[in-house]
Structure 1
Amino acid sequence: MPLFWTIAGIAILAVLFVIELRRELKVTYTPTAGEPIDFSLRPNLALLVIDMQEDFTSVGGRYGWEAAYRKARVEAIDIMAAKAKKAEIPVIAIRHVHRAPLIRLMIRLFGEGRGIPGSKGLRLAELPVQPDFELVKSRSDSFTSPELDGYLAANRVGTLLLTGLDGSYCVQATAHGALNRGYRVEIVKDAVLSHDEADWCRHLAALKGRGAVVV
């Protein structure tokens, strides 16, 4: 009987673990709603560079990128950032740090610790310009960091140009968060990285259906 109760206890803990992990994942990946903006009072643009950190931009290995693909996408982001600076369009660099306990545990065990507190790769990868604003988020939608809403409001930004990674996760979640608030969203397709291009194309189609523009 003691063995039975031990096994039963382990099974219950496993079920509870899975339930809580699913809850954390849902919270992490669900876009936010937020207060709608008055687009008529937001004539300006901003360029968002999402999650281009050393942890997420390495080449090769289990979680890395194919070298030529990464090079082309990074060059496209760099060109967009340089053009934005020249046109006096704010460049906003967004970094991701996983903080949900079970997600952090799973990444420590199976994801080489990328993107968790204490990682040496949380720094931004190379950019040819100094960002005008930087913020850190812990969920996919960049609008979960209230600093973003505040900066965009202060600078009367109504149109967002999205670049970065991963298209199927933080880029698309940020795009939905922006659309939910009434922003105009332009996605620079050649400046977005995705490990699953087919899935990213499905997200793009859904975003275009909501009014996002792919450039």
Structure 2
Amino acid sequence: MIPVLAVVGAIVFAVALFVVRLRYELRRANTPTTGERIDISMRPNLALLVIDVQKDFTSVGGKFGWEEAYLKARLAMISTAVVKASEAEIPVIAVRHVYRAPLIRLMIWLFGEGRGIPGSKGLGLSLPLTPDFEVVKSLSDSFSSPEFEGYLAANRVGTLLLTGLDGCYCVQNTANGALNRGYRVEILENAVLSRDEGEWRKHSEALEGRGAVLT
């Protein structure tokens, strides 16, 4: 018969290992990436990013939903930015998020209604737009996708116009990832959604301190 203390010890060890691994996945998912700096003089073009505006993340009400008026106003501003970009022949890049880290995915399945994990019916865009390019990422920084950087290089893009959600996570991490590489960053403030406006102000001020422009 296995001693009780041995069983308890094994359970405690397994829980500790789970926590350590989960923290690692969360830290990795929410850390801006770094990469080779671009020659901005060779990148005269702009691109508009629509970050994570997916059905799973843009519902109204409930535990994970938004206040309806706020959501509609911000989505309207994103739609306006898309129309203006298309009229100016600025490429529109849609960035979609799919959680793939095993423990984060498990936690979202258990406690987050499965939003954003593989197999969810809400992974598609919640706006009726046809992007010029689409990126799927599993980390908060859009630069974690090699295809994203490849598209920017091929199209000589040096300035990024950022919209989408959440300002405190994927928007600010993508902005920092861009600044880390020498891109010009412009954030369309009224086209950014954030659940914590106070925290978002802190992030936006920090981004301005690094050279990002908020309009």
Q: Same fold (TM over 0.5)?
A: yes
In the alignment, structure 1 segments of 5+ residues that lack a partner are none
Q: CA deviation at 1:6?
A: 1.1
Q: CA deviation at 1:130?
A: 1.3
Q: CA deviation at 1:196?
A: 0.7
Q: CA deviation at 1:140?
A: 0.2
**Structure 2 match to 1:50:** 51
Quote the sequence identity (%): 67
Give the match's secondary structure for 1:112.
coil
Superposition TM-score, scaled by structure 2 size? 0.98
**Structure 1 match to 2:184:** 184
Q: CA deviation at 1:108?
A: 0.4
Give the match's secondary structure for 1:13.
helix
For residue 206 of structure 1, what is the amino acid of its counterpart?
Answer: A
The 5 Å alignment of 1:128-207 reads 129-207=129-207
Give the match's secondary structure for 1:8.
helix
Give the match's secondary structure for 2:82.
helix
Deviation digits for residues 7-64 of structure 1 (CA, Å, limit 9, x no counterpart)? 1111111111000001111111111111110000111100000000000000000000
Q: What is the root-mean-square deviation in Å for CA atoms of aligned residues?
A: 0.8
The 5 Å alignment of 1:38-117 reads 38-117=39-118
Paired residues in the alignment total 214
For residue 207 of structure 2, what is the amino acid of its counterpart?
Answer: L
Q: CA deviation at 1:121?
A: 0.3
Give the match's secondary structure for 2:99.
coil
For residues 154 and 190 of structure 1, the distance between their equivalents in structure 2, rounded to whole angstroms, comes to 29
For residues 20 and 32 of structure 2, the distance between their equivalents in structure 1, rounded to whole angstroms, comes to 20
For residue 32 of structure 1, what is the amino acid of its counterpart?
Answer: T
In the alignment, structure 2 segments of 5+ residues that lack a partner are none
For residue 7 of structure 1, what is the amino acid of its counterpart?
Answer: V
For residues 67 and 2 of structure 1, the distance between their equivalents in structure 2, rounded to whole angstroms, comes to 56
Deviation digits for residues 144-195 of structure 1 (CA, Å, limit 9, x no counterpart)? 0011111111111100000000000000000000000000000000000011
For residues 166 and 66 of structure 1, the distance between their equivalents in structure 2, rounded to whole angstroms, comes to 14
Give the match's secondary structure for 1:171.
helix
Q: CA deviation at 1:67?
A: 0.1
Runs of 4+, deviation exceeding 4 Å: none
For residues 71 and 39 of structure 1, the distance between their equivalents in structure 2, rounded to whole angstroms, comes to 35
For residues 3 and 100 of structure 2, the distance between their equivalents in structure 1, rounded to whole angstroms, comes to 37
Give the match's secondary structure for 1:206.
helix
Superposition TM-score, scaled by structure 1 size? 0.98
**Structure 2 match to 1:34:** 35
